[in-house]
Structure 1
Amino acid sequence: MFFSIIIPLYNRPQEIKELLETLTLQTYSNFEVLVIEDGSVNDAEAIVNTFTDKLNLRYFKKQNEGQGFTRNFGFERAKGDYFVIFDSDCLIPPAYLQIVNESLTANYLDAYGGPDGAHDSFTPTQKAISYSMTSPFTTGGIRGNKKGIGQFHPRSFNMGVSRQAWEKAGGFIITRLGEDIEYSIRIHSLGFKIGLIPDAIVYHKRRTNFYQFYKQLHFFGRARINISTFFPQELKLVHFFPAAFTLGVMLTIILNIFSSVLAPIGNFILLIFTLLIFFHAWWKNKSLKIAFLSIVAAFTQLIAYGLGFIQDFWKRKVLSRS
């Protein structure tokens, strides 16, 4: 199988350097790489050119349209049997394509997703964020768990689509705000087989500080409402959990100010949640520092997502504004 790896890029030259370096180490060599600069001011052309003798590599520049439409640009120019999408802030293990090729040969999928994890080189904050985004106590493990709830929806930091699925489904129809989940649902609705390849892991840097992480997750909360405008049935009870958690935290704070009788209930629930995060993160990472940072990451994740979800739910569902 010939793979086309498609990487949208926006003002992140150092990230693409690290990503391309990991692709030079792939044990499976039948692939090409398309790097598409999405209207960057600080472009990576000079860095990408240093890899042209190490990879089957093509580099493009286009006007800024967002990551979804930039991936479409890559799809239209790709030569592969199968398209693989990575975010520019990922590091790819050497056996990744070998694992994917063997998995698709044994059990073919028209589209797949893989999990993400924390690389040894990540900072403690990045490792805490990675834990939070994959923890059973925050996301339920749905982003990379073969026992997840409901139909698995690949995320675009680590996603593959067959040429046949792309030819029938087309590309992304929205460029941001949940474009990958919408695309996955649409591919599945056309009868294509989608699944998780559990061993096709990438190391996803995500954000380097909690402020950037907050902004990203607030955006994700808004994206869930945006997806529901295309597929109303995809807004499920589980998606309300971060909003409920956020409102619960706010209520607990208010109760601590105004009601000494009811406040202990909220405090106890939050204490149990905090201890679960702490001990599980400590067990997973073998680090007290990362365990403490994971508490911050978990609260940041749920509250940021919850506030974004509430904001657009009120605006688009209650007030019916686009």
Structure 2
Amino acid sequence: MHGDLHLKISIIIAVYNRKDELQELLFSLINQTDKNFEIVIVDDGSQEKLEPIVSTYAEVLDIKYYYKSNSGAGLSRNYGAEHASGNYYIFLDSDCIAPVHYIENVRKELGLNYVDAFGGADSADKNFNDLQKAISYSMTSLLTTGGIRGNKKAINKFQPRSFNMGISKEAFKSVGGFSELRVGEDPDLSLTLWEKGFKTRFFPECKVFHKRRTSLKKFANQVYHFGIARPILNQRHPSFTKITFWFPSLFLIFTVLSLVLSIVNYWCIFPLLFYCCAIFLDSSYKNRSIKIGLISLLTTFIQFFSYGFGFLQSYIKLNILNREPKEAFPSHFY
């Protein structure tokens, strides 16, 4: 199936609690300029009652609601795909907001240059709070992640992420959907697609506003588990291992050494201070806020330290101690 002649889009949203955010996402889907799509809501055992919220949108949206026992996001997305009637799936996280032209732009991109799977960028909406904007900066900036989460010039091949990802039914079924990984299931899917010969592409006009974590503690914990997941993914897909995966861990070591050596020679701290100034100035300018610039310094260090520590811990257990991933990190698997 190529082009948009027979394209039927199913938006699949796996959600656990987060009723206010789900409502914001559904409201953004009401306002789409292209309304030719269905929505499949998979309630992953929420303690909050979500069905009444979903039912309020049933008159204006083609929407299905399914409640199931808690199994995690990946398997819930698989469940949603099983109950979707479309031939092209779009996965959105419940803490995202879709701009009004999102579906229209997806259909346009697929019509002009069809691809098996795509991903879009994420950014902070102007109404997000200062912490959310700072986290968004640290996760997407060229100075922190190389812009790989939203810059098509940053990398040669784009790995779609499940907060904003589209994939054909054919490709999804061919690779068996999301794997048993609890963390890193989306890059695992992307790498499996490449290994099977499917193509992925970045859609620059199909961004979403992504709230991410709403506290520093939750953000640190999330990124820490991202770091643990990367060596697991490297074992599963060794041909896609890159030296850049080490950068957060190297930054962690660099920071510690800079602080220690500065006791002997204060010049040793200057490269780190220069980088901090660059982060502060860049974020302050882009967010038009000195306060957000300062918070971005904190979120950037939390991101690097948490990811870097998780990566080192995982690498040592898997590659030096030769432990099996499921034995070393059982909570990372269903």
Query: What TM-score bracket applies, with the shorter chain setting the length?
Result: over 0.9
Q: Who is 2:217 aligned against?
A: 211
Q: Who is 1:318 aligned against?
A: 320
Letter in 2 for 1:308: G
8 Å CA contact 1:34–1:78 kept in 2: the answer is yes
Q: Who is 1:94 aligned against?
A: 100
Pairing 1:9-158 to 2, within 5 Å after superposition: 9-158=15-164
Partners of 1:126 and 1:77 in 2: CA distance: 33
Pairing 1:220–2:226 present: yes
8 Å CA contact 1:153–1:184 kept in 2: the answer is yes
Pairing 1:274–2:276 present: yes
Partners of 1:287 and 1:42 in 2: CA distance: 35
8 Å CA contact 1:128–1:294 kept in 2: the answer is yes
Partners of 1:198 and 1:282 in 2: CA distance: 24
8 Å CA contact 1:12–1:43 kept in 2: the answer is no
Instruction: Give the C-alpha shift of residue 187 in structure 1.
Output: 1.0
Letter in 2 for 1:72: N
Q: Who is 1:248 aligned against?
A: 254
Letter in 1 for 2:216: F
TM-score (norm 1): 0.96
SS of aligned partner of 1:174:
coil
> 1:160-192, CA deviations, whole angstroms, 9 ceiling, x for partnerless residues?
001121232221112412100010111122121
Instruction: Give the C-alpha shift of residue 283 in structure 1.
Output: 2.1
Partners of 2:227 and 2:267 in 1: CA distance: 29
Same amino acid, percent of matched pairs: 43
> 1:105-149, CA deviations, whole angstroms, 9 ceiling, x for partnerless residues?
001111000000110110011111111111111110011111122
Partners of 1:189 and 1:97 in 2: CA distance: 28
Partners of 2:309 and 2:280 in 1: CA distance: 23
Partners of 1:98 and 1:141 in 2: CA distance: 25
Letter in 2 for 1:287: S
> 1:178-210, CA deviations, whole angstroms, 9 ceiling, x for partnerless residues?
100010111122121210001101000001122
Instruction: Give the C-alpha shift of residue 320 in structure 1.
Output: 1.4
Q: Who is 2:330 aligned against?
A: none
8 Å CA contact 1:67–1:175 kept in 2: the answer is no
Pairing 1:300–2:306 present: no
Instruction: Give the C-alpha shift of residue 70 in structure 1.
Output: 0.6
8 Å CA contact 1:124–1:290 kept in 2: the answer is yes
Q: Who is 1:173 aligned against?
A: 179
* 58-67 or 245-254, larger mean C-alpha shift: 245-254
Partners of 2:229 and 2:139 in 1: CA distance: 16
SS of aligned partner of 1:301:
helix
8 Å CA contact 1:10–1:43 kept in 2: the answer is no
8 Å CA contact 1:177–1:226 kept in 2: the answer is no
Q: Who is 1:260 aligned against?
A: 264
* 122-131 or 284-293, larger mean C-alpha shift: 284-293
TM-score (norm 2): 0.92
Letter in 2 for 1:231: H
Letter in 2 for 1:276: A
Partners of 1:78 and 1:226 in 2: CA distance: 30
Aligned-pair Cα RMSD in Å: 1.2
Instruction: Give the C-alpha shift of residue 295 in structure 1.
Output: 1.0
Q: Which runs of 5+ in 2 are unaligned?
A: 1-6, 325-334
Q: Who is 2:332 aligned against?
A: none
Partners of 1:316 and 1:31 in 2: CA distance: 43
> 1:252-291, CA deviations, whole angstroms, 9 ceiling, x for partnerless residues?
23334xx423x531x1111111111111112211111111
Q: Which runs of 5+ in 1 are unaligned?
A: none
8 Å CA contact 1:225–1:313 kept in 2: the answer is yes
* Change in 2 beyond 3 A, CA 1:43/1:313: farther
Q: Who is 1:200 aligned against?
A: 206
Letter in 1 for 2:238: P
SS of aligned partner of 1:166:
helix
